Structure 1
Amino acid sequence: MRITRIAWVATAAAVLLVATGCTSQPDPNATACTGWSTATDAWATAEQSASTSSAHLASLRSDLHSELQKASRTATGEVKSAMTSAVADLPDNALRIVEPGSKYRSAYDSANSQVQKACAAAGHTIALKPAPVVS
C-alpha cells in the first residue's frame, strides 16, 4: 500500500510538472530570440567600433543574414512569423543596410521592432540596437 501511494504521488508530481510547462526541453522561442539578439548586437556593435578589423566586419556583414535565418528556424508561432518576415526583407549582405541613403535601414529597424515585440509577447524580452549609422 505504501509503495502504491509513493508511485501515485510521483506520477501526480510528474503530470503537474509537464502540465505547468516545467520540462527539461528548452523553449525554442527563447533560443531563437537570444540568437537573434546576439547576431544583431554583434553586428551593430562591430559597425560602430573603430577598433573592428575590416576582415571581421566584412565577415559579420556577410554572415548576418544567415545567422538570422538560423535563429528563425528554431522559433515557433508568432516569433517564427516575425523572424521569417524580417529575414525575407533584408539584403544578403548587411553592408547594404548601413550604406549612405540605404532603403534597407528603416526596413531593418522595423523588422527588428516586430521581432522584439513577438519575442516579448512569447515571454522573452530582448533589447535590439537600431541599424548603425556609418559614414
Structure 2
Amino acid sequence: MPPKTIKSSLLGMLEDLGENQLKKFRSQLLDRREEPRVRRSAVENKDIIDISDVLVSTFTEPGALKVSLEILREIDCNEEAERLDSQTKACLDTGNPIFRRNPKGELVIEASQEARNHVAGRQQQAGGRRVTVKKPEEVEAEAKAPRRL
C-alpha cells in the first residue's frame, strides 16, 4: 500500500480527535501568532474536511503537518502527534518541489513566510546589512588571494 499523503493523514488525524480535542485544536490554530494566520471564519463551524483544506492551502502540506504537530503537542494529544508524524515520514522527502497555492488554486508567486524569516534572521546576524550570496568562483578567488594586513 502506498504511503498516505500528508493531507489524507491530516484528515485522518482530525477524524480521530474527540469533539473536545477538535475544539481545542481549532482554538490553538486560531491563536497562533506566527504568519500566515488563519481567519476565524475559515474554521469556525467547519467540518474536518474544510479544516484540513484550510491547513493545506494556508501552510502547504509540509507546513500544515508542522503546524498540526505543534498544536497536537500543545493540547496534549501526544499519541495522535506521534501517529501523524510516523504516517507522514515517507511523504516529506520525495524530491518533488512543493508549490504554494491560494484557495483558488492559483500559484502563489512570493516568498513564503519561512523564507522571509530566514532572510530576516540572516540580516539580523549581519547587523542589519543586506546579505548577498557569492558565487563559488568568487569565494575561491578570495580564499586564494593574498591577505593584506
* TM-score, length-scaled by structure 2: 0.29
Larger helix proportion, structure 1 or 2? Answer: 1
